[in-house]
Amino acid sequence: MLTFTLRRLLIAIPTLLASAIVIFALLQLAPGDPMANVPLTVPPEVKQKMREALGLGEPVHIQFWKWLVQFFWIEPQVLIDNIFGTSFAEGKLRVLSWQTRSPVMDIVMQRMPQTLWVVGTSYLVGIIIALPIGIYSAYRQYSVFDQAGTFISMVGYSVPTFFTGVLLIVIFSVNMPRESFFWFPSIYDTTHQVDSWSAFGFQVRQMFLPVMVLALYNAAQISRFMRASMLDNLNQDYVRTARAKGLGESIVVMVHVLRNSLIPVVTVIALGVPQVFGGAIITEQVFKVNGLGHLLIGAIEANDLPMVQTLTFIFAVLIVLFNLIADVLYGILDPRIRYD
Amino acid sequence: MNLRSALLGAAAFAALAPAAMAERGSDGHVNIIYWQAPSILNPYLSGGTKDIESSSMIIEPLGRFDQDGALVPFLASEIPTVENGGVSEDLTTITWTLKEGLLWSDGTPLTSEDVVFTAEYCMHPEGGCAQLSKFDAVESVEAIDDLTIQVNFKAPQPNPYLPFMGGQSPILQKAQFAECLGAAASTCTEQNFNPIGTGPFVVDEFKPNDVISMSANPNYRDPAKPAFATVTFKGGGDAASAGRAVLETGEFDYAWNLQLAPEVIEEMEKGGKGQTVAAFGTLVERLEMNLTDPSSDLPADIRATREAPHPILSDVRVRKALSMAIDRELLVEIGYGQAGRPTCNLVPAPARYASPNTDCIGQDLEGAMALLEEAGWTDTDGDGIRDKDGMKLSLLYQTSTNAVRQNFQDAIKAWWGMIGVETELRNISGSVFFGGDAGSPDTFQKFYADVEMYANNFDGTDPQAYLSMYRCGNEPKPSSQWQGENINRFCDPEYDALLDELAKTGELEKRGEIAIRLNEMLTKDTYTIVPLVDRGRVSAHSNTLGGVVLNTWDSELWNVADWYRIEE
């Protein structure tokens, strides 16, 4: 197992390097100009000077090399400095955003908690809703519950979040009276700090709408996997054996079948984790949650290449990493699988 | 949140006290939403409106423009003019005097050194200053004494109110920014995010592209202002949700620039939580006629340059006919509602510079057809499209991607169809169209189309620089990497001579006359530019927010110090 993990980690290096080059090339080839949002009243010569100040005049390969050095050499030093209070990175040029002229990683660290809170909670809520629905739907296949579950998960899966999000805002923020218990804010207050129980209550309320929108979507997906996996196992010979031994129905389903059915579901859940970090781009936009997805969209609109490059690369790292974790988990959960 | 609830409590207490005098911070908290989020609080490093307006609550210029475009002193004790001796007779110097006793928010005094430093900061050749054009004409800036600053111009400057005037050109604190000159400008994150200012508010926390938390400046010059103790300035999202947050849910007090369809705004106003305000500036949505041939059959160095005149649009009668076929009042109705009015002028305001010309307002399809006949364009083959010498009267009409603009394209295409002109429509993403990338064939400067539509305006109240864009030689061309502002490739020696005269004239009345003449040369004389709609600005504020005066000549938040809470 250890050698397998190490081998995979080594293979990840060229994979990530290749994806960094692809991302960089795509961004270079894409049309657009970081000065496009500057008003037309600013004359072209001034815009040209502003572009040069951003380092846009340099040859492409030098821009890429600079980014590599800044991301892999200088940023880790900044991290070490922050943890141990050293000063390795002092005076060195970090990856700077073109929009804000400030270090990209600082903004990423600032945005990460919101994304983890909102999108992470919705992922957890989604899993908690999805597993029981999937299990029961499979156990009572074609029952009314199963049909209803199938219908709801189809709706959740196929209706886009920009629709459900706005729908919930219209119902719970616009039409609901402000004094009502069921009124929820439509705009996420990113300055809110949880320092008391009432503040925690407000945090729950403002997270409610975005979390519900995303949980519906996640639950729909995972419950379908859970159901299919349960169905596969329910017809297996070992289930018949267990029943023949005289085991109770609850033990047969909840211990024997569920354990085996969870193996592929855990993999699917692990593979979905990078999406949590990636933020739910659309939902964050609808509710103004200042997470990573919100940051990425803003950076794309403003042609802030260093920001887009860094964010997409971080997502690439996470995807590679969680693929590895899913593979390793699979080996741990299922003793039939051997990697060595 | 404890501070906030304490302040809210204080505000409630103040409301109970009868006839209490206005006091700084007595009205608690105010929420402002801009659907474009501020990225930086230093207007010299970003030309973006969102950045200029958000920073205008914190840092201030010597003078601002009010809602009518008149000059108002802010940090200066008065606006220098030739009459009061502040501007020299030969128009080469302007002398500003600061108000006495002004303090920065950190408690140190504001001096003329800070103003001189601000000029040095922006004029540094490696700084990439976004407001450099304000300082173009400046030879030097010197401090005469602690409160007096003299700006020397390279040549007589009839409009000396460029540097240190308006939201684009506020004063930075020398002590804070001293290390940030030139190439170091972009590494000064701390300074760019937390500028020390003289304005009514100070930054408590700035989260780039998201939110700014501010509180009242304890050293603000008027001890009774600002009425609000704290501000949340939220950014991001879209115009519709910003409008909704003020007009329907009441979560925010002020929403900037609601670029929405008129019926959408009307529907939102029924929410009853707030109201919209509209004001007009100089932003004009116009059609630009290409006077050069954009045909792809031409070699790259000749295509869309003055060497290849346009085969159809070189004839003024065709351009005039195209303008006559447009019903501008209907365009306003479908696109802008209360935020638009029909115009025939490139310079629609201020009144002194606006031509009274209204010739183009009424639609005249008959007249347009007669004019095309006269120009030799007839429909010889009966297919509904006019032709001449085997060439069809067919035009490519491009603009940026934007719902209102696409509606305009459809309407104008239909009207041109009625007079026998075939139109092909095209829309291009705004970041490419306005991007200025010399390698892209789709920029508005390259103008590889026959007609294009966009909006433009000018800073401040003087149109000289704006009208100078149409000088011969200033057109985008291969030798200038397609940079240049004379988009139509207009060239008229008489126009250039008049521009030179404008640059030498200081007397305002005379300047007005010349500017009107120049405007008419581009519009009603030649139909080089076909103005469509004078676009105003619509913003919204809640029913409980008082003191809002919408201003299109400066930052919308120019008088935020005077805002207050109306008790319900």
**Each residue's pLDDT tens digit, B420-448:** 999 999 998 877 788 777 778 888 989 99
Q: Name the residue with higher pLDDT: B127 or B556.
A: B556
Least confident interval from A120-129, A200-209, B21-30, B280-289: B21-30
Q: How far is CA A297 from each of CA A31, A141, A260, A280, B548, rounded to the nearest angstrom? A: 16, 42, 40, 11, 32
Which pLDDT does position B46 carry in this prediction?
80
Question: In whole angstroms, what is the distance from residue B299 CA to residue B497 CA?
Answer: 33
Does residue A210 sit in the same domain as residue A62? no
Q: Judge if A119 and A246 occupy the same domain.
A: yes
Question: Are A93 and A116 found together in one domain?
Answer: no
Looking at residues B226-251, what average pLDDT do you find? 89
| Same domain as A234, residue A198 | yes
Grouping H, G, I as helix, E, B as strand and the rest as coil, residue B559 is coil
pLDDT of residue B48: 81
Q: Indicate which of A38, A40, A170, A184 best probes the interface with B, i.e. most B CBs within 10 Å of its own CB.
A: A40
Q: What is the domain count for chain A?
A: 2
Interval B159-211: pLDDT, tens? 889 899 988 899 999 999 998 888 888 778 889 999 999 999 999 999 888 89
A262 in any annotated domain: yes
pLDDT of B11 reads 46
Cβ atoms A256, A242 nearer than 8 A:
yes
H-helix or E-strand spanning residue B286: strand B274-289
Q: Which CATH architecture has domain B280-536?
A: Roll (3.10)
Residues A167 and A223 in one domain: yes
Does residue A242 sit within a domain? Answer: yes
In angstroms, the CA B563 to CA B549 distance is 9
Interface test with A, best of B49, B131, B186 (most A CBs within 10 A): B186
∠ CA(B101), CA(B105), CA(B111), 5° rounding? Answer: 40
B 5-24 → A contacts, CB under 8 A? none
Task: Report whether pLDDT(B104) > 90.
Answer: yes
- Mapped onto helix, strand or coil, the DSSP state of residue B206 is strand
Taking alpha carbons only, the member of A86, A94, A105, A91 closest to residue A55 is A94
- Confirm if A225 and A267 have CB atoms less than 8 A apart: no
**Helix H or strand E segment including B454:** strand B451-456
- DSSP letter at B309 equals B
A218 occurs within a structural domain: yes
Supply the pLDDT for residue B16.
Answer: 41
Which residues are bridge partners to B286 per DSSP? B454, B531
Q: Read off the pLDDT of residues B258-278 as tens digits, 9 standing for 90 and up.
A: 888 888 888 899 888 999 999
pLDDT tens for chain A, residues 1 to 340: 788 888 888 998 999 999 999 999 998 887 777 777 777 777 777 888 888 877 777 888 888 888 888 888 888 888 888 888 777 777 777 888 888 888 888 888 888 888 888 888 999 999 999 999 999 999 988 999 999 988 988 888 888 888 988 899 889 888 888 788 888 888 888 778 888 888 898 889 989 999 998 898 889 989 999 999 999 999 889 999 999 999 888 889 888 899 889 888 988 898 888 887 776 788 888 888 888 888 898 888 888 889 999 999 999 998 999 988 888 888 888 878 776 6
Minimal C-alpha gap between A47 and chain B (Å): 7
Number of helices (H) and strands (E) in chain B: give both, helices first: 16, 20
ipTM: 0.74
Question: By the 8 A CB rule, do B102 and B109 touch?
Answer: yes
HEC string for A219-274 = HHHHHHHHHHHHHHHHCCHHHHHHHHCCCCHHHHHHHHHHHHHHHHHHHHHHHHHH
- Nearby residues of A109 by Cβ (< 8 Å), 6 or more positions away: none
Cα(A129)–Cα(A116) distance, integer angstroms: 19
Among B232, B237, B457, select the one facing A285 at the smallest CB separation.
B237
User: Could you tell me if A196 and A59 lie in one domain?
Assistant: no
Range of the domain at A295: 110-333
B380 vs A: CB within 8 A: no
Residue A17 lies in a domain: no
pTM of the model: 0.80
User: pLDDT tens digit string along B74-101?
Assistant: 999 999 998 888 999 888 999 999 999 9
Q: Indicate if A172 and A295 belong to the same structural domain.
A: yes
Q: Which of B132, B236, B251 sits opposite A46 (nearest CB)?
A: B132
B445 SS3 class: coil
Residue B310 has pLDDT above 50, yes or no: yes
Interface of B with A in 227-246 (CB under 8 A): 232, 234, 236-237, 241, 244-245
Give me the residue from A97, A185, A298 closest to B236, CB to CB: A298
Contact B39 A302 (CB under 8 A): yes
φ/ψ of A200, rounded to 5, equals: -65, -40
Q: Residue B12 — pLDDT band, cuts 50, 70, 90?
A: very low
Report yes or no on A20 lying in a domain. Answer: no
pLDDT at B164: 93
**Extended beta strands in A29-161, E state:** none
* A48 vs B contacts (CB less than 8 Å): 483
Residue B13: pLDDT band with limits 50, 70, 90:
very low
Q: Tell me the pLDDT band of B559, cut-offs 50, 70 and 90.
A: very high
Output the CA–CA distances (angstroms, integers) from residue B200 to A102, B56, B219, B362, B506, in the order listed: 25, 9, 8, 47, 35
pLDDT at B103: 94
Q: Among candidates B389, B399, B358, B376, which has minimal Cα distance to B321?
A: B376
- Tokens read off for B23: 């006091």
Instruction: Note whether A107 contacts B130, CB cutoff 8 Å.
Output: no
Final residue before a domain boundary, out of A74, A97, A120: A97
| Residues 179-198 (B) with a CB less than 8 A from some CB of A | 183, 185-189, 192-193
- Which residues are bridge partners to B142 per DSSP? B150
Quick check: is A21 in a domain?
no
How far B265 CA lies from chain A's nearest CA (Å)?
15
Residues A66 and A172 grouped into a single domain: no
* A-chain residue closest to B429, CA distance: A32
Cα separation, B225 vs B200, whole angstroms = 7
| Assigned domain for A73 exists | yes
A289: left (phi over 0), alpha (psi -120 to 50) or beta: beta
- The answer to whether residues A64 and A200 belong to one domain is no
Q: Pick from A33, A43, A102: which is nearest to B435 by CB?
A: A33
Query: Do A80 and A117 fall into the same domain?
Result: no
**How far A74 CA lies from chain B's nearest CA (Å)?**
15
| Range B136-156 average pLDDT | 92
CB nearest B211 (choices: A46, A97, A191): A191
Same domain, A66 and A132: no
Q: Taking a C-beta distance cutoff of 8 angstroms, is the pair B60, B171 a contact? A: yes
Average pLDDT over residues B133-147: 91
> For position B8, what pLDDT does the model report?
47
Which phi and psi angles does B413 have, rounded to 5°? -60, -40
Classify B101 as helix, strand or coil: coil
A6 in a domain, yes or no?
Answer: no
Residues A75, A194, single domain; the answer is no
What's the CATH code of the domain at A279? 1.10.3720.10
Give me the residue label for tokens 């892209």. Answer: B440
B214 Cβ contact list (under 8 Å, min separation 6): B57, B58, B201, B202, B203, B204, B230, B231, B232, B233
Between B192, B237, B434, which is nearest A36 by CB?
A: B434
> In the prediction, which pLDDT does B143 show?
93
Q: Cα distance from A193 to chain B (closest Cα, Å)?
A: 7
